[in-house]
Amino acid sequence: MCLLLLVLLVAAISFTTSATEQLRPCGDGKLGFASYYGDHMVLQRAPQRAVLWGCGPLGTQVTVSVQGPTTQEILVSVSNETRMWRVILGPVESGGPYNITAALTNHTNSFVTLRDVLFGDVWLCSGQSNMYFEVSQIFNASEELALASNYPHVRFFMVGLDKNDIEQQDLDKVNIPWSVPNEKDLAPFSAVCWLFGRYLYKTLNSPVGLVESSWGGTTVEAWSSHTALKKCGLDHKDENYLGPTENSVLWNAMIHPLLPMTIKGAIWYQGENNAKYHRDLYSCTFPAMIDNWRTGFHKGSGGQTEIEFPFGFVQLSTYEHSSTDNGFPEIRWHQTADYGFVPNFRMKNTFMAVAMDLPDDTSPYGTIHPRDKQDVAYRLTLGAQAVAYNNFSTFNGPFPDLIFPDNTYVTITFDQELSVSPSEDIFEIGCSSNSIFHILGFKWMPASIMNPIRLERLAL
Ligand SMILES: *[C@@H]1O[C@H](CO)[C@@H](O)[C@H](O)[C@H]1NC(C)=O
Ligand SMILES: *[C@@H]1O[C@H](CO)[C@@H](O)[C@H](O)[C@H]1NC(C)=O
Ligand SMILES: *[C@@H]1O[C@H](CO)[C@@H](O)[C@H](O)[C@H]1NC(C)=O
Ligand SMILES: *[C@@H]1O[C@H](CO)[C@@H](O)[C@H](O)[C@H]1NC(C)=O
Ligand SMILES: *[C@@H]1O[C@H](CO)[C@@H](O)[C@H](O)[C@H]1NC(C)=O
């Protein structure tokens, strides 16, 4: 009995702040919105409800009023303890523009206004250098930037690089305030995030708000809370590994403050830095981070962000063609919690943009940074269509449905049509009499494609 394995990878918070460390972002309580509210922003549209929060003087009330195609007004008291106020707006349908004012009740001259606000879907974009990779660096960058002004309803915001030992209530740094696309402001923004947003906009025809919070060279542990790390046995800080990759520091400074924001979903491009750091824990740490972000955003938004919000990510491509494994095979496997495809039982409501086929051997930014961000962003939008918007088309690669070995050939039936050329080395086959083949020393052998019998069947 021979166990066969194919190596064609197919597409297939707790919101706690300890009392002693409770931060008071409001200082003495000057009236204002939290740092990530601003003119030109996108707030989450109906059926979800957007959250607004800010600061105000002790003992006052704030009236939040929404003016635009629809109107609403909500009165809220400033907390005596934290000098913070928070409202959950009534649901607002896609569109705009709106002006949103927070005014001190009965003080006619004390108010702050957010102008040109749209309601649409808000997506968070996070990860390391491939998410940080700028629009100005991709293939066809100048053409892409020249298109920017055609998409005034895709707005973007970038969190500043920051780390902290304790969970922050508000952002300390903003890198790009909410912007209407123009060449200059878009150039340093995340290419994957931007392209995802603008492709998504084309299918939704509804405003899209993009929030980038990413940092190059960072590990999944840095973006994970202590609660998430504990699930994988990483309770303590790793004192040997300092800097922006230290456990939880980016979660504390760059994600935790965003939790009150109502979002539609998140996309992620990371893993390279875990290839040599806690690599084989990644199948635990990555899903644990997703779970923990989901709980945190759900609670932080007063239940408005879905408890299992859609989470998409980019598969790492190959990058070291001189090495025997081409780079990152283990991390690619762990990106799917060792299933080989998503969504799966461990990673529900997730989607993955396959990138195995998109290396960039001549990238001036290093082969680890492919310049083709268009294809991965497009594949992410196909996944988002299916997982986040229930608009199913083909969003995964061909998946082997049936594997049938006889004495001469192995016939594989896929769940969708394929276009293949006969090849000597696309497939490898691993054989073992034992199902724990991966720890026994067994061999992978190239298997040539003998005959694409029918379009969706291959004989090896
Ligand atoms: C807040 O403080 C004001 C006076 O400063 C007081 O009247 C009010 O009862 C306090 N509210 C709460 C909930 O403690
Ligand atoms: C928002 O404020 C601007 C500037 O005051 C004004 O021109 C615009 O008409 C306002 N828009 C709405 C929807 O109230
Ligand atoms: C605002 O003024 C109205 C009318 O004078 C009064 O009833 C209300 O209590 C005042 N609200 C606050 C928060 O001072
Ligand atoms: C559904 O997906 C297709 C293919 O991506 C797209 O053309 C269409 O606009 C989408 N429809 C909706 C309602 O999102
Ligand atoms: C760049 O533009 C050329 C010409 O339009 C096109 O053929 C190519 O596919 C584009 N590259 C990417 C990565 O989109």
Domain 3-117 architecture: Sandwich (2.60)
The whole-number average pLDDT for the span 424-434 is 68
Longest alpha-carbon distance in the chain: 87
The whole-number average pLDDT for the span 358-384 is 96
Ligand closest to the CA atom of residue 97:
2
| pLDDT tens-digit map of 308-319 | 999 999 999 998
Higher pLDDT, 259 or 14: 259
Residue extents of the structural domains in the chain: 3-117, 119-387, 400-459
| pLDDT tens-digit map of 384-415 | 999 999 998 778 878 888 888 887 778 888 88
Output the pTM of the full model: 0.89
Ligand closest to the CA atom of residue 58:
1
For residue 74, the cross-strand partners are: 64
Distance CA 265, CA 125 (A): 9
- Strands 154-159 vs 208-214: parallel, antiparallel or unpaired: parallel
- Measured in Å, residue 321 CA sits from the centre of ligand 4 at 37
Distances (CA, A) of 272 to 66, 131, 191, 231, 279: 44, 12, 18, 22, 10
Ligand 5 atom at minimum distance from 371 CA: 13
Domain 119-387 architecture: 3-Layer(aba) Sandwich (3.40)
Q: What is the pLDDT of residue 9?
A: 30
Structure tokens at 218: 């960072």
- Measured in Å, residue 77 CA sits from the centre of ligand 3 at 12
- Measured in Å, residue 115 CA sits from the centre of ligand 2 at 7
Distance CA 440, CA 38 (A): 57
Top mutation candidate among 135, 140, 362 for ligand 5, by most atoms within 8 Å of CB: 140
What would the 3-class secondary structure string for 102-150 be? EEECCCCCCEEEEEEEEEEEEEEEEECHHHHCEHHHCCCHHHHHHHHHH
Q: What is the pLDDT of residue 459?
A: 62
| pLDDT band, very low/low/confident/very high, at 436 (cuts 50, 70, 90) | low
Ligand 2 pocket, 95 CB below 6 A?
no
Dihedrals phi, psi of 20, to nearest 5 degrees: -70, -25
Ligand 4 atom at minimum distance from 202 CA: 9
Ligand closest to the CA atom of residue 76:
3
Are 336 and 383 within 8 A, CB to CB?
A: no
Say if 3-117 and 119-387 have the same CATH topology: no
For residue 208, the cross-strand partners are: 121, 154
| pLDDT tens-digit map of 314-359 | 999 998 777 777 889 999 999 999 999 999 999 999 999 999 889 9
Ligand 5 pocket, 372 CB below 6 A?
yes
Ligand 1 pocket, 233 CB below 6 A?
no
Instruction: State percent of the chain over pLDDT 90.
Output: 71
Ligand 4 pocket, 206 CB below 6 A?
no
Q: What is the pLDDT of residue 172?
A: 93
Give rounded-to-5 percent helix, strand, coil for the chain: 25, 25, 50
404: part of which helix (H) or strand (E)? strand 400-405
Q: What is the pLDDT of residue 23?
A: 57
